[in-house]
Structure 1
């Protein structure tokens, strides 16, 4: 068995370990950037959409104006087909 050092990247996730603080951070930044590049959206502007952390969502809040379908069918099809 060989010691390869600290884990840095695993299954599309970036792992950062701070042993002195006893903290492990996991990010999917590269995965998100790859998806944006795949669909030509890497130059899109980020947007903040704040939401009350205590908000409980219900179907009644969505009646008449919301769609229950997930966005971007093109993304789902391309991702599932491996395109």
Structure 2
């Protein structure tokens, strides 16, 4: 899977720069309290009041934790995995 961004953590907040062929942006993954088993662990924002997606904490078959992200970038929807 292609790497489209780099992130850093600060407490419960993850920030990073993401770049695709059509989009380049700074985003923040804000940890939220889950309201159900299917609810996301993170809300992804690209500025004040601009929510672009959500993230779910996952564990790979090798036991490595990662964040599975669904984001709407421009007119195309993107899904990707992010390693912590």
Q: Shared fold (TM-score greater than 0.5)?
A: no
Which TM class, normalised by the smaller chain length? Answer: under 0.3
Q: With the length of structure 2 as denominator, give the TM-score of the two structures.
A: 0.23
More strand by share: 2
Q: Which has the higher helix share?
A: 1
Structure with larger Rg:
1
Question: RCO (CA 8 Å, sep 6+): is it higher in 1 or 2?
Answer: 2
